[in-house]
């Protein structure tokens, strides 16, 4: 078996801004695992928030033995981008060897399309109203916020897209005081969920705080080991394969989170359809699906995912799984 990793760059359709900064392209790592004429593929997006770089993640991948298995991988690499790309490539390889789809191998029902959120980049209220109006036909909009001056942005997006469902992602950008001030207005504006309002290391402030809208753990939840630290703070967990370290742990985290009474959101970094493909399996029945990465790109994989009014569809075998 041979493991190869390459760097790929996908231009974004427009500048994408969150509270931590802006970008004009998605830089990803693509893993190809070849064995006996079959090639499995996976993709990851190294994330600086978790001290990952293209170089560090590539080095982790290249450190693996050529004959690594999915079970061994869980011990050899920690949860994160490197393990994700290899894990998903090994799933894809197993599918190609067996002639079965990934959901069959995982013992899951045949998946269907899921309505996905579409993310509006952080900007001035005027910019965000224009973005909202342009995408007002979409059923679910996600607003990137995370500053002390977000109330005008919320009002602007609601005015621009009066019929759309709205969720908010603060990307750890609020203080407890800012969140407490905004919280009563979220219901008024029809916000259905708030992602990570406080920094992961300061979210104990959520204990005992009124949560008029469900609060979702993103940066505070990586894998199953994160669950004990979420009690009393969160109602929903955001499962991202680049955090869990692949489909294997993502499916296990979903099962464990649901068993503990959490609802599940499935999200993504800004990557191509190859990165989203395995996450579609995890997103089945999720309270929120946020797999819009390819919709933010100006270019994508040769065989991309299908997005239509029914949502994001499961991948074709030519793409993954």
User: 216 with 237: CB under 8 angstroms?
Assistant: yes
Q: Of residues 96, 142, 233, 240, which has the active-site annotation?
A: 240
Whether 144 sits among the annotated catalytic residues: the reply is: yes
Quick one: tokens of 28?
Answer: 């990803």
Residue 138 DSSP one-character state: S
Beta strands at 21-35 and 2-18: parallel, antiparallel or unpaired: antiparallel
Q: Bridge-partner residues for 140, per DSSP? A: 165
Phi-psi sector, 196: left (phi>0), alpha (psi -120 to 50), beta: left
Q: Nearest 5 degrees, angle CA 156-CA 19-CA 179?
A: 70
Gap between the Cα atoms of 220 and 203, Å rounded:
8
What is the distance of C-alpha 157 from the center of its chain?
22
Q: Which of 142, 144, 233, 243 is catalytic?
A: 144
For the annotated catalytic residues, the residue numbers are 144, 240
């Amino acid at each position: 078996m041979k493991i190869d990793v390459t760097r790929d760059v996908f231009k974004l359709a427009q500048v994408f801004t969150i509270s931590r900064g802006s970008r004009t392209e998605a830089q990803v790592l693509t893993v190809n695992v070849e064995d006996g004429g079959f090639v499995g593929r996976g993709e990851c997006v190294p994330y600086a928030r978790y001290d990952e770089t293209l170089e560090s993640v590539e080095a982790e991948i290249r450190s693996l033995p050529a004959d690594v298995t999915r079970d061994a991988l869980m011990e050899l690499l920690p949860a994160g981008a490197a393990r994700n790309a290899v894990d998903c490539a090994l799933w894809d390889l197993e599918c190609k060897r067996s002639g079965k789809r990934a959901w069959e191998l995982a013992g899951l029902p045949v998946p269907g399309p899921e309505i996905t959120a579409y993310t509006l980049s952080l900007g001035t209220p005027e910019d965000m109203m224009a973005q909202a109006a342009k995408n007002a036909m979409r059923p679910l909009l996600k607003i990137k916020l995370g500053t002390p001056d977000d109330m005008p942005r919320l009002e602007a997006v609601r005015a621009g897209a009066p019929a759309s469902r709205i969720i908010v992602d603060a990307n750890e950008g609020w203080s407890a005081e800012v969140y407490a001030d905004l919280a009563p207005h979220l219901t008024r504006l029809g916000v259905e969920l708030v992602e990570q309002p406080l920094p992961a290391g300061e979210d104990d402030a959520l204990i005992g705080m009124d949560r008029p809208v469900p609060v979702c753990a993103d940066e505070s939840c990586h894998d199953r080991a994160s669950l004990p630290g979420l009690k009393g703070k969160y109602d929903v967990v955001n499962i991202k394969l680049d955090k869990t370290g692949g489909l294997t742990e993502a499916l296990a985290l979903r099962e464990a989170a649901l068993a503990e009474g959490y609802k599940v959101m499935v999200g993504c970094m800004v990557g191509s359809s190859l990165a989203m493909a395995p996450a579609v399996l995890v997103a089945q029945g999720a309270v929120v699906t946020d797999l819009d990465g390819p919709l933010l790109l100006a270019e994508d994989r040769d065989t991309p995912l299908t997005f239509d009014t029914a949502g994001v569809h499961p991948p074709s075998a030519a793409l993954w799984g």
